[in-house]
Protein backbone atom coordinates (compact mmCIF):
# COMPACT_ATOMS: atom_id res chain seq x y z
CA UNK A 1 0.00 0.00 0.00
CA UNK A 2 2.85 2.37 0.85
CA UNK A 3 4.47 1.70 -2.55
CA UNK A 4 1.16 2.47 -4.27
CA UNK A 5 0.84 5.82 -2.50
CA UNK A 6 4.46 6.70 -3.33
CA UNK A 7 3.89 5.96 -7.02
CA UNK A 8 0.63 7.93 -6.99
CA UNK A 9 2.31 10.92 -5.37
CA UNK A 10 5.03 10.84 -8.04
CA UNK A 11 2.42 10.73 -10.80
CA UNK A 12 0.45 13.57 -9.21
CA UNK A 13 3.65 15.62 -9.03
CA UNK A 14 4.27 14.99 -12.73
CA UNK A 15 0.74 16.14 -13.56
CA UNK A 16 1.21 19.34 -11.59
CA UNK A 17 4.60 19.95 -13.22
CA UNK A 18 3.26 19.48 -16.75
CA UNK A 19 0.21 21.66 -16.08
CA UNK A 20 2.38 24.48 -14.74
CA UNK A 21 5.29 24.42 -17.17
CA UNK A 22 3.99 22.66 -20.28
CA UNK A 23 5.94 21.31 -23.20
CA UNK A 24 8.64 23.99 -23.14
CA UNK A 25 10.02 22.53 -19.91
CA UNK A 26 10.96 19.40 -21.83
CA UNK A 27 14.04 21.31 -22.96
CA UNK A 28 15.46 21.37 -19.45
CA UNK A 29 14.53 17.74 -18.85
CA UNK A 30 16.18 16.57 -22.04
CA UNK A 31 19.38 18.55 -21.66
CA UNK A 32 19.87 18.51 -17.91
CA UNK A 33 18.42 15.13 -16.90
CA UNK A 34 18.07 12.86 -19.89
CA UNK A 35 21.28 14.19 -21.38
CA UNK A 36 23.41 11.53 -19.73
CA UNK A 37 22.32 8.97 -22.36
CA UNK A 38 24.98 10.09 -24.83
CA UNK A 39 27.77 10.48 -22.30
CA UNK A 40 27.36 7.16 -20.55
CA UNK A 41 26.71 5.02 -23.59
CA UNK A 42 29.63 6.43 -25.55
CA UNK A 43 31.97 6.32 -22.57
CA UNK A 44 31.57 2.54 -22.41
CA UNK A 45 32.55 2.21 -26.07
CA UNK A 46 35.65 4.40 -26.13
CA UNK A 47 38.87 2.67 -27.21
CA UNK A 48 42.23 3.37 -28.84
CA UNK A 49 41.87 7.12 -28.50
CA UNK A 50 44.67 9.56 -27.67
CA UNK A 51 45.72 9.03 -24.06
CA UNK A 52 46.20 12.75 -23.51
CA UNK A 53 42.65 13.47 -24.71
CA UNK A 54 41.38 10.71 -22.45
CA UNK A 55 42.99 12.33 -19.41
CA UNK A 56 41.49 15.72 -20.21
CA UNK A 57 38.11 14.07 -20.76
CA UNK A 58 38.28 12.33 -17.39
CA UNK A 59 39.14 15.64 -15.74
CA UNK A 60 36.13 17.26 -17.36
CA UNK A 61 33.78 14.42 -16.40
CA UNK A 62 34.98 14.51 -12.78
CA UNK A 63 33.81 18.11 -12.64
CA UNK A 64 30.45 17.32 -14.23
CA UNK A 65 29.53 14.44 -11.95
CA UNK A 66 30.74 15.95 -8.68
CA UNK A 67 27.71 18.23 -8.19
CA UNK A 68 24.60 19.53 -10.01
CA UNK A 69 25.48 22.35 -12.38
CA UNK A 70 23.19 24.83 -10.63
CA UNK A 71 24.98 24.20 -7.33
CA UNK A 72 28.51 24.61 -8.65
CA UNK A 73 30.75 27.52 -7.81
CA UNK A 74 31.11 29.87 -10.82
CA UNK A 75 34.89 29.37 -10.79
CA UNK A 76 34.45 25.61 -11.12
CA UNK A 77 32.02 26.12 -13.97
CA UNK A 78 34.53 28.38 -15.70
CA UNK A 79 37.21 25.71 -15.22
CA UNK A 80 34.90 23.11 -16.72
CA UNK A 81 34.27 25.32 -19.74
CA UNK A 82 38.03 25.83 -20.17
CA UNK A 83 38.62 22.07 -20.05
CA UNK A 84 35.88 21.44 -22.61
CA UNK A 85 37.29 24.12 -24.88
CA UNK A 86 40.74 22.53 -24.61
CA UNK A 87 39.31 19.23 -25.80
CA UNK A 88 37.67 20.92 -28.77
CA UNK A 89 40.81 22.89 -29.69
CA UNK A 90 43.58 20.34 -29.06
CA UNK A 91 41.74 17.11 -29.89
CA UNK A 92 39.19 18.24 -32.46
CA UNK A 93 39.48 15.04 -34.48
CA UNK A 94 38.53 12.79 -31.58
CA UNK A 95 35.06 12.04 -30.27
CA UNK A 96 36.07 13.69 -27.01
CA UNK A 97 35.64 17.00 -28.82
CA UNK A 98 32.01 16.11 -29.62
CA UNK A 99 31.37 15.17 -25.99
CA UNK A 100 32.89 18.47 -24.92
CA UNK A 101 30.51 20.25 -27.29
CA UNK A 102 27.54 18.51 -25.70
CA UNK A 103 28.73 19.62 -22.27
CA UNK A 104 29.21 23.21 -23.41
CA UNK A 105 25.64 23.18 -24.73
CA UNK A 106 24.37 21.95 -21.34
CA UNK A 107 26.28 24.70 -19.56
CA UNK A 108 24.89 27.30 -21.95
CA UNK A 109 21.33 26.11 -21.29
CA UNK A 110 21.97 26.25 -17.55
CA UNK A 111 22.94 29.91 -18.07
CA UNK A 112 19.89 30.50 -20.29
CA UNK A 113 22.17 31.20 -23.26
CA UNK A 114 20.21 29.27 -25.87
CA UNK A 115 21.98 30.88 -28.84
CA UNK A 116 25.33 29.51 -27.66
CA UNK A 117 23.77 26.13 -26.93
CA UNK A 118 22.44 25.97 -30.49
CA UNK A 119 25.87 26.84 -31.91
CA UNK A 120 27.56 24.07 -29.91
CA UNK A 121 24.95 21.48 -30.86
CA UNK A 122 25.13 22.35 -34.56
CA UNK A 123 28.90 21.92 -34.41
CA UNK A 124 28.54 18.44 -32.92
CA UNK A 125 25.98 17.50 -35.57
CA UNK A 126 28.24 18.67 -38.39
CA UNK A 127 31.64 17.52 -37.11
CA UNK A 128 31.09 14.32 -35.13
CA UNK A 129 32.05 11.09 -36.88
CA UNK A 130 29.79 9.17 -34.48
CA UNK A 131 26.24 9.06 -35.86
CA UNK A 132 24.74 8.40 -32.44
CA UNK A 133 26.37 11.45 -30.87
CA UNK A 134 25.31 13.56 -33.86
CA UNK A 135 21.70 12.40 -33.42
CA UNK A 136 21.77 13.13 -29.70
CA UNK A 137 22.98 16.63 -30.53
CA UNK A 138 20.22 16.91 -33.11
CA UNK A 139 17.54 15.99 -30.58
CA UNK A 140 18.86 18.52 -28.09
CA UNK A 141 18.98 21.17 -30.80
CA UNK A 142 15.31 20.45 -31.52
CA UNK A 143 14.59 21.17 -27.85
CA UNK A 144 16.62 24.39 -27.89
CA UNK A 145 14.88 25.64 -31.04
CA UNK A 146 11.53 24.74 -29.49
CA UNK A 147 12.35 26.83 -26.42
CA UNK A 148 13.27 29.68 -28.78
CA UNK A 149 9.87 29.26 -30.48
CA UNK A 150 11.55 28.46 -33.80
CA UNK A 151 8.97 25.79 -34.39
CA UNK A 152 9.34 25.32 -38.15
CA UNK A 153 13.08 24.72 -37.94
CA UNK A 154 12.69 22.50 -34.88
CA UNK A 155 10.04 20.39 -36.60
CA UNK A 156 12.17 20.04 -39.72
CA UNK A 157 15.06 18.66 -37.65
CA UNK A 158 12.75 16.42 -35.63
CA UNK A 159 11.36 14.85 -38.82
CA UNK A 160 14.71 13.28 -39.67
CA UNK A 161 15.07 9.53 -40.08
CA UNK A 162 16.59 8.04 -36.92
CA UNK A 163 17.38 4.55 -35.57
CA UNK A 164 14.59 2.58 -33.93
CA UNK A 165 16.02 3.29 -30.49
CA UNK A 166 15.43 7.02 -30.99
CA UNK A 167 12.11 7.01 -32.83
CA UNK A 168 10.15 7.49 -29.61
CA UNK A 169 12.11 10.47 -28.26
CA UNK A 170 12.00 12.26 -31.62
CA UNK A 171 8.25 11.61 -31.85
CA UNK A 172 7.77 13.08 -28.38
CA UNK A 173 9.76 16.16 -29.40
CA UNK A 174 7.54 16.59 -32.46
CA UNK A 175 4.49 16.18 -30.25
CA UNK A 176 5.69 18.96 -27.96
CA UNK A 177 6.18 21.28 -30.95
CA UNK A 178 2.73 20.46 -32.31
CA UNK A 179 1.22 21.01 -28.87
CA UNK A 180 2.83 24.43 -28.53
CA UNK A 181 1.55 25.38 -31.99
CA UNK A 182 -1.97 24.36 -30.99
CA UNK A 183 -2.09 21.36 -33.35
CA UNK A 184 -3.67 18.98 -30.88
CA UNK A 185 -4.61 16.21 -33.32
CA UNK A 186 -1.07 16.04 -34.70
CA UNK A 187 0.40 16.25 -31.20
CA UNK A 188 -1.78 13.35 -30.08
CA UNK A 189 -0.60 11.18 -32.97
CA UNK A 190 3.06 11.94 -32.17
CA UNK A 191 2.63 11.16 -28.47
CA UNK A 192 0.95 7.86 -29.34
CA UNK A 193 3.90 7.00 -31.58
CA UNK A 194 6.29 7.87 -28.76
CA UNK A 195 4.41 5.61 -26.33
CA UNK A 196 4.53 2.74 -28.81
CA UNK A 197 8.32 2.94 -29.03
CA UNK A 198 8.95 3.53 -25.34
CA UNK A 199 10.78 0.88 -23.35
CA UNK A 200 8.46 -0.97 -20.99
CA UNK A 201 10.97 -0.38 -18.19
CA UNK A 202 10.82 3.41 -18.47
CA UNK A 203 7.84 3.99 -16.19
CA UNK A 204 8.58 7.66 -15.48
CA UNK A 205 8.72 8.61 -19.16
CA UNK A 206 5.59 6.58 -19.80
CA UNK A 207 3.72 8.41 -17.05
CA UNK A 208 4.73 11.80 -18.41
CA UNK A 209 3.78 10.83 -21.97
CA UNK A 210 0.38 9.64 -20.79
CA UNK A 211 -0.15 13.00 -19.08
CA UNK A 212 0.76 14.81 -22.30
CA UNK A 213 -1.47 12.51 -24.33
CA UNK A 214 -4.40 13.07 -22.00
CA UNK A 215 -3.97 16.82 -22.39
CA UNK A 216 -4.54 16.62 -26.14
CA UNK A 217 -7.39 14.11 -26.08
CA UNK A 218 -10.67 15.22 -27.72
CA UNK A 219 -13.00 16.83 -25.15
CA UNK A 220 -15.59 14.06 -25.44
CA UNK A 221 -13.02 11.30 -24.92
CA UNK A 222 -11.40 13.10 -22.02
CA UNK A 223 -14.79 13.54 -20.37
CA UNK A 224 -15.58 9.84 -20.76
CA UNK A 225 -12.23 8.86 -19.26
CA UNK A 226 -12.85 11.15 -16.30
CA UNK A 227 -16.21 9.51 -15.58
CA UNK A 228 -15.93 6.93 -12.74
Rounded to whole angstroms, how far apart are CA atoms 218 and 215?
Answer: 9
pLDDT for the residue 124: 93
Among 2-6, 84-88, 157-161, the range of highest mean pLDDT: 157-161
Rounded to whole angstroms, how far apart are CA atoms 22 and 18?
Answer: 5
pLDDT for the residue 139: 93
* Average pLDDT for 168-180: 93
pLDDT digits (tens, 9 = 90+) for 30-83: 544 344 334 444 444 444 444 556 666 666 666 565 556 666 777 777 877 888
Q: Does residue 94 or residue 3 have the better pLDDT?
A: 94
pLDDT for the residue 78: 81
Give CB contacts under 8 A, 24+ apart, made by 51-57.
Answer: 52/90, 52/91, 53/87, 53/90, 53/91, 53/94, 53/96, 54/96, 56/83, 56/86, 56/87, 56/90, 56/91, 56/96, 57/87, 57/96, 57/99, 57/100
pLDDT for the residue 193: 94
Task: Give the closest residue to 97 by CA, choosing from 67, 137, 141, 69.
Answer: 137
* Average pLDDT for 190-200: 87
Min mean pLDDT across 9-18, 114-123, 183-192, 203-212 is at 9-18
Among 134-138, 208-212, 224-228, the range of highest mean pLDDT: 134-138
Using alpha carbons only, what angle is made at residue 46 by residues 57 and 164, rounded to the nearest 5 degrees?
A: 115
pLDDT for the residue 29: 46
Residue 160 CB partners (closer than 8 Å, separation 6+): 138, 170
pLDDT for the residue 93: 75
pLDDT for the residue 8: 54
Mean pLDDT, the chain, integer: 75
pLDDT for the residue 100: 86
pLDDT for the residue 203: 78
Kindly report the pTM of this predicted structure: 0.71
pLDDT for the residue 21: 52
Q: Does residue 100 or residue 157 have the better pLDDT?
A: 157
* Average pLDDT for 18-26: 52
For 60, 114, 156, 183, 199, the CA distances from 145, given in Å and listed in that order, are 27, 8, 11, 18, 26
Burial of 166 (0-12, 13-18, 19+ CB in 10 A): middle
Amino acid sequence: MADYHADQEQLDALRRWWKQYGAAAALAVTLAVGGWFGWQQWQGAQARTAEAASLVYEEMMAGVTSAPLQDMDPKRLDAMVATAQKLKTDYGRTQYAALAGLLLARLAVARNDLDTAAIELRAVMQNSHDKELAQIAQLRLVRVLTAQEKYDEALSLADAKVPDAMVGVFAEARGDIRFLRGETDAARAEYQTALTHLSARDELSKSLLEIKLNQVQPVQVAAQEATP
